[in-house]
Amino acid sequence: MQPRLNPYGTALGPKFVKHIVSANRVVADSTLPAATQELVKIRASQINGCGGCLDMHTKDAAHAGETAVRLNLVAAWRETTVFTDAERAALELTEQGTRLADSAGVTDEAWADAAKHYDAEQLTALVSQIAVINAFNRLNAITRQRGGDYQPGQFG
């Protein structure tokens, strides 16, 4: 499978991506734990089938010290013992926020569970992270950007 388009080879692509990256930096600098941010990115990317984002975020998480066990179990997080209650709440919110068209949206229960573990600033960061990674996933999946060659820290 070859990429359909190189968005960086257009005038618009780099400008657009620059703004998504800026939004991601705002979240990265928040008080939402870095490990939670990566778990959210990985889970949404799994759901959306984004090989480029999975390649990047699993490697970045491992480089930052995340264990192989946790990385390998993200897709089956409900059936594991390796995630905290707060991380589970974030993963549930990620799934529901990523699969908006497949259900009635984010349930009050999922929101209340997340709100038990995160303050308003962190909830804003969590929702923003879900939105940003879904934007990246869609850009990459639609244009068939492939994963496999990413090196941790490659994009700064």
Alpha carbons 50 and 144: distance in angstroms, whole number: 8
Residue 55 falls within a domain, yes or no?
A: yes
> The domain that contains 112 carries what CATH number?
1.20.1290.10
In a domain, 8, yes or no: no
CA distance 53 to 119: 27
Q: What is the 3-state secondary structure (H, E, C) of 85-150?
A: HHHHHHHHHHHHHHCHHHCCCCCHHHHHHHHHHCCHHHHHHHHHHHHHHHHHHHHHHHCCCCCCCC
The pTM of the full predicted model, rounded to 2 decimals, is 0.94
Answer yes or no: is 98 within a domain: yes
How many beta carbons lie within 10 A of that of residue 6, not counting itself?
10
From the CA atom positions of the chain, what is the Rg in Å? 15
Judge whether 82 lies within some domain: yes
Domain count, the chain: 1
- Quick one: pLDDT at residue 4? 84
Q: Can you tell me the distance from the alpha carbon of 40 to that of 42, in angstroms, rounded to the nearest whole number?
A: 5
Looking at the domain assignment, is residue 122 inside a domain? yes
What pLDDT, on the 0 to 100 scale, is given for residue 150? 85
* Contact present, 48 and 134 (Cβ < 8 Å): yes
Whether residue 78 is contained in a domain is answered as: yes
Q: Is 45 contained in some domain?
A: yes
**How far apart are alpha carbons 6 and 57 in whole angstroms?**
20
Task: Output the tens digit of pLDDT for each of the chain's 156 residues.
Answer: 787 888 778 899 889 999 999 999 999 999 999 999 999 999 999 999 999 999 999 999 999 999 999 999 999 999 999 999 999 999 999 999 999 988 889 999 999 999 999 999 999 999 999 999 999 999 999 998 888 888 987 776
Cβ atoms within 10 Å, residue 112: 10
Domain of residue 132 covers 33-142
4 belongs to a structural domain: no
Length of the chain: 156
